[in-house]
């Protein structure tokens, strides 16, 4: 049989049904983050709302993710964990007449760590995690500012991992 006859015979045969493509390999964590459009924000831990508020405001201002109000609508879950610990101290006060006033313990609360975990909303696979430990401070306002700064640093790290600088 000549080559031309073989080619004609193959062309007359029924076309083979298309084979199913091989399953696509699972997406990497960075690819899942890049594909995500919606995020559900959750607060955990016993810390105050400062870190949560910073993360919420930063996500809204970034515009990369649309915040949704239910887990079912989300591509990713952004979990903000802040842990407070109480510190005891002794203080003494002096009255206006110069005599020593009451002494007692004053409890101060400071956040020992802020952890941000971003995971896939459906599979619960962690896609990104970061931890920041705020500096301590003697005054309440200093402790609060340090907590805000730590949350901002954490969000900057997350932002840079999703959208690396220079792109």
Domain of residue 85, CATH code: 3.30.160
Number of domains composing the chain: 1
Global confidence as pTM: 0.70
What residue numbers bound the domain in which 71 lies? 28-162
Classify residue 72: in a domain, yes or no.
Answer: yes
Is residue 167 one of the residues assigned to a domain? no
Local confidence band at 90 (pLDDT 50, 70, 90 cut-offs)? very low
Q: At CB < 8 A and 24+ separation, what contacts does 125-132 make?
A: 125/29, 125/32, 126/29, 127/29, 127/30, 127/32, 127/33, 127/76, 128/29, 128/33, 128/158, 128/161, 128/162, 130/154, 130/157, 130/158
User: Which 3 state secondary structure label does DSSP give 42?
Assistant: strand
Question: Which stretch, 62-76, 94-108, 136-150, has highest mean pLDDT?
Answer: 62-76
Residue 138 lies inside a defined structural domain of this protein: yes
- What is the structure's pLDDT at 28? 84
Whether residue 108 is predicted with pLDDT greater than 70 in this model: the reply is: no
């Amino acid at each position: 049989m000549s080559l031309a006859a073989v080619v004609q015979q193959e062309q007359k045969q029924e076309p083979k049904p298309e084979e199913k493509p091989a399953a696509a390999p699972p997406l990497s964590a960075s690819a899942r983050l890049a594909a995500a459009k919606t995020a559900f924000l959750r607060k955990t831990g016993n810390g105050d709302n400062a870190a949560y508020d910073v993360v919420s405001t930063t996500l809204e201002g970034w515009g990369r993710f649309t915040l949704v109000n239910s887990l079912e609508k989300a591509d990713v879950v952004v979990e903000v964990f802040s842990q407070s610990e109480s510190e005891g101290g002794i203080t003494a006060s002096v009255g206006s007449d110069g005599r020593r006033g009451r002494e007692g313990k004053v409890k101060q609360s400071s956040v020992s760590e802020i952890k941000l975990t971003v995971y896939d909303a459906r599979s619960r696979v962690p896609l990104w995690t970061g931890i920041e430990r705020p500096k301590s401070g003697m005054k309440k306002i200093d402790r609060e500012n340090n907590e805000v700064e730590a949350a901002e640093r954490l969000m900057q790290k997350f932002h840079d991992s999703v959208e690396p600088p220079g792109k």
